[in-house]
């Protein structure tokens, strides 16, 4: 109503400043805002600054409110909004909405993870009417390389490996046009100006160097795959080795030449329908593979297997992914079968990233290589995810996930900047900053010099990208982890804070943090079913029940400590664990008498038993470990699975899981479960899981000729049951009568086992526990050192 009482319609003007925090830079946020503002006919501006994105918007009140709602509702796919704040704005605004220059400090932008090809780009490259028809490096703000090409800060084209490609005018126009989905797409490229793919012979055979032929390089590579050749393919974050997955001879040749004995090969297929010929793919799994992260997803294979056994020897799962880049999409276009897409390396080396390196290292494996001239600045391996208990669990966190930050729980938001250096074998590191945890991509085994160099390069890169200067370094307590040694050396050279965390406490704390468990909440029971970790008392832990919060922990229970005869060698050779377990409580002569005729005992008797005995007697490399992983190894060995040697970490346990008789597992017969007991340790008095009764039952079953799949089911059932029983027993041990904890947090490598995972969930749901939390192993290995965080934040 206007003064004077005259009724007139005057649209109400509203202007506000909108602050958006989160992953909002480098993901097409500004153009999205620009388009919304233009559609709603609003004026103002949008810019990047040190805190994220700042929007100043003015116009009709209803339209401004609509605009605000749409920002929250329809952010670009790769964006993640953490906070939107609004303030009234009284300054002048441009009537035509514009994208303003970035403000100072914008350099400290978050860098997004590499994203798999988006539907729009995927459609373009197969459309003859588009200028990027058949272009292997098409990308836009919604997809394409990010972390893998960034070499420095700030994240713009000049600091990526795209710097050497000058944009053509057509690309430049798209890059400058806010209405275009390639507005400020730093890796923008096309046939005219961008990287090119080339097919080269690695065995000295020349292939044409005619640049026009690059169009056909991908087609030629596909033809080679069809023919049964092994082709090295330069992907997003490293080289792959590919061959026709339906060609058993080619798969076998790849195994031999790559010297990868049994570790499963990842597969790639043009679409999910091809995968469905071999595996079940449920809606969750399909969605995962089709998302921007596009990880390898472990799928349940049909029995009998319809692909060569050599792809995943002894396993019932297949790791599949969809094409992740336009190059892969074009390569697989029209290929009506899956291809092996395994890491481009020999044995356990890190995958090659450079063209020269690939020429040198992969020449003995692949006859040809499909390479390109966009350099890989950072090695980023394929991520690995398994859906368990209805949720995706990240087993290896790399491409598509890193370096996306994870939020920290309440109470930890104020934690000072920290750098957690990670473990050793599957090393990753984690920056704590501004209430977030930034996890690096999976780095690999640090004992490998190339991997260690990559790890250090990544540390420097992340420090720059995230403008991170830690007040303290956090390291694993293990005396010999190279990551921990590097931390100690750094602290010695430049004195600063240093925090050492026990391996399994870190597991529990990372699980709590991942589930946003508040800092000041009461301690939870951490059930860590793991391989090995160094403990405070100089012993080796691995199957632990810890009452823990972020600051501290108390060991409440454990798995029976059994000698690891030969240290790391015992982890490689399951028969050693079997022997140590069997003879922990039973005499050899007693075993031979009571279970005479068992193939297993005859076999062990032929081995260097006397030396193992001497090692145990003399305390030579025979530390005891309370490990759950080693128990798995021992049981697998009893069932003659990987008895001699595991070809990769966790093989015995994975193969034991693979043979489980699912019908027996599903049938709710509790008496099926192998018996365990929970006595108390003679020294500490702590309750521990004693497997002696289980061993007698297993030996009995072997005598009876019980089928191995049924025995595997009985073991999984029994183990799950005793773990649940231990949790219940520990919960009830409070003298005041109340439960000692309300929450159970589960972590550790053994939880990668879906059968065990789901059986323990079922078991724990029944009794009293309110909250059940699980950590995904990939994240755990990385942010690991949350444990220290609480301490640091609280002090």
Residues in touch with other proteins (CB under 8 A): 259, 346-349, 361, 423-426, 446-450, 452-453, 478-482, 485, 503, 530-534, 540, 564-571, 608, 610-611, 614-615, 617-618, 620-621, 623, 649, 749
Residue whose structure tokens are 């489980």 = 660
The three-state secondary structure class of 430 is strand
Half-sphere exposure at residue 157, Cβ-oriented, CA atoms within 13 angstroms: 19
Cβ nearer to other proteins, comparing 404 with 782: 782
- Closest to other proteins by CB, 182 vs 503, is 503
Measured CA to CA, the distance from residue 511 to residue 502 in angstroms comes to: 14
Nearer to other proteins, 361 or 442 (CB): 361
**CA of residue 394 relative to chain centroid, distance:** 4
Q: Shortest Cβ distance from residue 568 to other proteins (Å)?
A: 4
* Alpha carbons 100 and 115: distance in angstroms, whole number: 26
Per DSSP, the three-state class of 558 is strand
DSSP per residue over 293-322, as a string?
Answer: S--EEEEEEPSS-SS-GGGSTT-SEEEEE-
CB nearer to other proteins: give 184 or 572. Answer: 572
**Main-chain phi, psi angles of 533, to 5 degrees:** -155, 145
Judging by DSSP bridges, how do beta strands 279-280 and 43-49 pair with one another?
unpaired
What phi and psi, each to the nearest 5 degrees, are found at residue 328? -70, -40
Instruction: Give the separation between CA 603 and CA 357, rounded to whole angstroms.
Output: 45
Task: Work out how close the CB of 44 gets to other proteins at its nearest, in angstroms, rounded to a whole number.
Answer: 53
CA 767 to chain centre: 31
Q: Which is nearer to other proteins, 532 or 601 (CB)?
A: 532
From the CB of 423, what's the least distance to other proteins, in Å?
A: 6
CA dihedral 507, 527, 676, 565 (to 10 degrees): 10
Residue with Cβ nearer other proteins (282 or 480) = 480
Write down the least CB distance from residue 656 to other proteins, Å: 18
- Residue 616 corresponds to which tokens in the numbers above? 């145990």
Min CB(540)–other proteins separation in Å: 7
Separation of alpha carbons 82 and 435, rounded Å: 11
| Greatest CA separation for the chain | 111
Tally of residues, the chain: 795
Minimum distance from CB of 346 to other proteins (Å)? 6
Q: Between the CA of residue 93 and those of 28, 38, 51, what are the distances in Å?
A: 22, 14, 21
Nearest approach, Cβ of 490 to other proteins (angstroms)?
Answer: 14
Residue 447 C-beta: closest distance to other proteins, Å: 5
- Identify the three-state secondary structure at position 157: helix
- Nearest approach, Cβ of residue 261 and other proteins (Å): 12
CA atoms within 13 A on the CB side of 326: 30
Question: CB-wise, 15 or 779, nearer to other proteins?
Answer: 779
Confirm if 156 and 186 have CB atoms less than 8 A apart: yes
> Closest approach of Cβ 485 to other proteins, in Å?
7
The arrangement of strands across the sheet holding 418-420 comes to 405-407, 436-439, 430-433, 418-420, 472-476, 497-501
Q: How far apart are CA 150 and CA 152, in angstroms?
A: 6
What DSSP character marks residue 158?
G
> Is the CB of 426 or the CB of 721 nearer to other proteins?
426
> Whole-number minimum distance, CB 399 to other proteins, in Å?
23
Pick the closest to residue 164 from 154, 151, 153 (CA basis).
Answer: 151
Choice between 8 and 347, CB closer to other proteins = 347
Q: Are 391 and 500 in contact (CB under 8 A)?
A: no
Residue placing its CB nearer to other proteins in the complex, 301 or 459: 459
Q: Min. distance of Cβ 684 from other proteins in angstroms?
A: 22
Q: Which is nearer to other proteins, 75 or 566 (CB)?
A: 566
- Positive or negative: CA dihedral 537, 396, 654, 615: negative
Residue pair 308/245 in contact (Cβ under 8 Å)? The answer is yes
What is the closest distance, in whole angstroms, from the C-beta atom of residue 265 to other proteins in the complex?
19
Euclidean distance between CA atoms 309 and 652, whole angstroms: 17
Closest CA to 17 of 47, 55, 58: 55
Tell me the closest approach of the beta carbon of residue 46 to other proteins, in angstroms: 46
Comparison of 397 and 717: residue with beta carbon closer to other proteins: 397
Residue nearer to other proteins on the CB measure, 308 or 531: 531
Smaller CB separation from other proteins, 283 or 449? 449
């Amino acid at each position: 109503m206007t003064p004077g009482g005259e009724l007139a319609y005057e649209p109400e003007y509203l202007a506000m400043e909108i602050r958006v925090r989160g992953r909002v830079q480098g993901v097409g946020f500004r153009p999205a805002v620009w388009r919304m503002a233009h559609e709603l006919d609003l004026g103002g501006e949008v810019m990047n600054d040190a805190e994220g994105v700042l929007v100043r918007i003015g116009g009709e009140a209803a339209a401004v409110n609509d605009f605000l709602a749409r920002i929250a509702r329809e952010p670009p796919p790769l964006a993640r909004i953490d906070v939107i704040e609004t303030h009234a704005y009284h300054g002048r605004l441009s009537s035509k909405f514009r994208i303003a220059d970035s403000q100072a400090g914008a350099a400290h932008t978050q860098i997004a993870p590499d994203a798999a090809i988006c539907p729009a780009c995927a459609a373009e490259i197969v459309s003859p009417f588009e200028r990027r028809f058949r272009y292997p490096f098409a990308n836009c703000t919604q997809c394409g390389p990010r972390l893998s090409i960034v070499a420095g800060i700030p994240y713009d084209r000049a600091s990526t490996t795209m710097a050497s490609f000058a944009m053509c005018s057509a690309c430049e126009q798209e890059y400058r046009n806010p209405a275009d989905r390639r507005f400020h797409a730093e890796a923008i490229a096309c046939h005219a100006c961008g990287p090119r793919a080339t097919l080269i012979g690695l065995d000295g055979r020349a292939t044409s160097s005619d640049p026009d032929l690059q169009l056909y390089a991908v087609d030629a590579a596909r033809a080679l795959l069809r023919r049964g050749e092994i082709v090295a393919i330069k992907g997003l974050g490293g080289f792959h080795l590919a061959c026709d997955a339906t060609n058993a001879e080619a798969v076998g040749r790849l195994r031999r030449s790559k010297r990868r004995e049994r570790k499963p090969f990842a597969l790639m297929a043009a679409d999910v329908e091809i995968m469905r010929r071999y595996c079940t793919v449920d809606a969750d799994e399909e969605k995962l593979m089709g998302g921007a992260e596009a990880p390898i997803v472990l799928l349940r294979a049909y029995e009998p297997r319809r692909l060569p056994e050599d792809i995943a020897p002894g396993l019932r799962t297949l790791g599949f992914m969809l094409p992740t880049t336009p190059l892969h999409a074009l390569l697989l276009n029209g290929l009506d079968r899956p291809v092996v897409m395994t890491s481009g390396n020999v044995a356990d080396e890190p995958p090659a990233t450079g063209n020269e390196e690939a020429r040198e290292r992969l020449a003995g494996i692949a006859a040809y290589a499909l390479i390109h001239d966009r350099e890989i600045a950072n090695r980023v391996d394929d991520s690995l995810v398994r859906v368990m208990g209805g949720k995706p669990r990240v087993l290896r966190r790399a491409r598509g996930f890193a370096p996306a930050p994870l939020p920290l729980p309440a109470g930890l938001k104020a934690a000072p900047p920290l750098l957690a250096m990670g473990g050793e074998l599957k090393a990753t590191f984690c920056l704590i900053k501004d209430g977030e945890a930034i996890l690096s991509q999976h780095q690999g085994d640090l004992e490998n010099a190339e991997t260690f160099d990559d790890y250090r390069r990544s540390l420097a890169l992340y420090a720059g990208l995230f403008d991170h200067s830690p007040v303290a370094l956090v390291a694993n307590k293990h005396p010999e982890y190279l990551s921990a040694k590097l931390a100690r050396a750094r602290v010695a050279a430049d004195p600063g804070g240093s925090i050492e965390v026990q391996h399994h406490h870190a597991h529990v704390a990372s699980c709590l943090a991942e589930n946003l468990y508040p800092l000041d909440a009461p301690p939870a029971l951490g059930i860590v079913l793991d391989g090995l970790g160094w403990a405070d008392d100089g012993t080796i832990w691995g199957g632990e029940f810890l009452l823990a919060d972020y600051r501290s922990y108390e060991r409440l229970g454990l798995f029976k400590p059994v000698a690891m005869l030969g240290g790391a060698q015992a982890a490689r050779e399951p028969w050693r664990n079997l022997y140590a377990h069997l003879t922990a409580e039973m005499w050899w002569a007693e075993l031979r008498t009571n279970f005479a005729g068992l193939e297993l005992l005859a076999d062990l008797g032929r081995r260097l038993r006397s030396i193992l005995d001497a090692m145990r007697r003399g305390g030579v490399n025979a530390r005891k470990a309370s490990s759950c992983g080693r128990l798995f190894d021992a049981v697998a060995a009893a069932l003659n699975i990987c008895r001699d040697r595991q070809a990769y970490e966790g093989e015995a346990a994975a193969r034991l899981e693979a043979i489980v008789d699912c019908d027996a597992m599903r049938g709710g017969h509790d008496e099926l479960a192998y018996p365990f007991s929970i006595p108390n340790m003679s020294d500490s008095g702590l309750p521990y899981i004693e497997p002696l009764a289980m061993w007698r039952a297993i030996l009995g079953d072997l005598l009876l000729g019980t089928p191995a799949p049924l025995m595997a089911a009985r073991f999984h059932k029994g183990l799950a049951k005793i773990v649940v029983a231990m949790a219940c027993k520990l919960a009830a041990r409070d003298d005041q009568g109340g439960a000692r904890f309300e929450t159970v947090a589960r972590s550790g490598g053994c939880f990668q086992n879906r059968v065990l995972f789901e059986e323990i969930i079922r078991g724990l749901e029944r009794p009293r526990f309110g909250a059940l939390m699980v950590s995904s192993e990939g994240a755990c290995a990385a942010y690991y050192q949350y444990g220290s965080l609480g301490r640091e934040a609280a002090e």
